[in-house]
Amino acid sequence: MTLSPAEWEAIRLSLLIGLAAVAWILPPGIAVAWWLARYHFRGKAFVNGLIHLPLVLPPVVVGYLLLIGLGRQGVFGQWLYSSLGVSLPFTWQGAAVASGVMAFPLLVRALRLSIEAVDPKLEAAASTLGASHWRVFTTITLPLAIPGLLTGTVLAFARALSEFGATITFASNIPGKTRTLPLALYTLIQTPGQEAAAARLCFLAIIIALLSLIASEWLARRTQQRLQERDAY
């Protein structure tokens, strides 16, 4: 199977944007998952629903909201452009932002469930021995929640790779700049005589998504086995 330079470029951009999306959502995702797992407060159901909203909203709506908020004339985008010279719409960085927003709920949900499975008594015991909250989190909570972190990270990466609606709305479909694998496939479908190229990209998309899911399952099981082996000693 021979791919054209444009198709290779779409794959490269997809991987770049997917990795960038995961990189920027990882720190806030860990913090939000821990917060939801360990604290009870008024309005928690609303906050949880707000975080998971991108899963049920049409992606185009998310992209439109990003355009309003982070566009050059947007609420935050105007400040970013005037103060820092940063313009996110129609750039690969903007595509990473859109993909990250769509993938964020998957990361938070997987990690939150994993943190909730960690026995709070272990954290309490460490605190009584003088460990700070940060040390308890980094030495007990997070290591025990690693399977969920790995699963959520890989799922978020796979979701970022497949993002279409929010990306095309916020970052457009610019060849060599924001045209990811889904956008390239969409373009080929709309172009007469490109059925073979569209089939190639469709096959590649399926393979990449399947490998991501397999990797997520393998990493989670491998990490869980290592934790069990460590506890056995």
Token pair of 122, please?
């272990």
52 pLDDT band, cuts 50/70/90, is very high
Give me 17's structure tokens. 């944007």
**How far from chain centre, in Å, is Cα 160?**
6
DSSP 78-115: HHIIIII----TTSHHHHHHHHHHHHHHHHHHHHHHHH
* Tens-digit pLDDT profile for residues 106-142: 999 999 999 998 888 888 888 888 888 889 888 889 8
pLDDT for the residue numbered 165: 92
Lowest-confidence region among 3-12, 57-66, 166-175: 3-12
List pLDDT tens digits, range 22-41.
999 999 999 999 999 988 88
pLDDT score of 1 more than 70? no
Q: How many of the other CB atoms lie within 10 Å of CB of 167?
A: 31
Q: How far is residue 54 from each of residues 70, 126, 131, measured CA to CA in Å?
A: 17, 37, 37
CA dist 112 and 127 (Å) reads 21
150-156 average pLDDT score: 89
Position with higher pLDDT, 3 vs 148: 148
**Angle value at C-alpha 38, between 22 and 43, nearest 5 degrees:** 90
Neighbours of 222 (CB within 10 A): 12
**Is residue 154 within 8 Å of residue 216, measured between CB atoms?**
yes
The most distant pair of C-alpha atoms in the chain lies apart, rounded to whole Å, by: 70
* Per-residue confidence (pLDDT) for residue 227, from 0 to 100: 64
- Give 197's pLDDT tier (boundaries 50, 70, 90): confident
CA–CA gap between residue 233 and residue 230 (Å, rounded): 6
pLDDT confidence of residue 34 = 93
At 6, is the secondary structure helix, strand, or coil?
Answer: helix
What pLDDT does residue 120 have?
A: 87
Q: Are the C-beta atoms of residues 72 and 81 closer than 8 Å to each other?
A: yes
Average pLDDT, whole number, for the chain?
A: 88
Name the band, by pLDDT with cuts 50, 70 and 90, for residue 47: very high
Residue 19 pLDDT > 70? yes
| pLDDT computed for residue 71 by the predictor | 87
For residues 98 and 72, what is the distance between their CA atoms, to the nearest angstrom? Answer: 16
Closest CA to 66 of 88, 81, 39, 91: 88
How far apart are alpha carbons 167 and 102 in whole angstroms? 10
For range 96-111, the mean pLDDT: 94
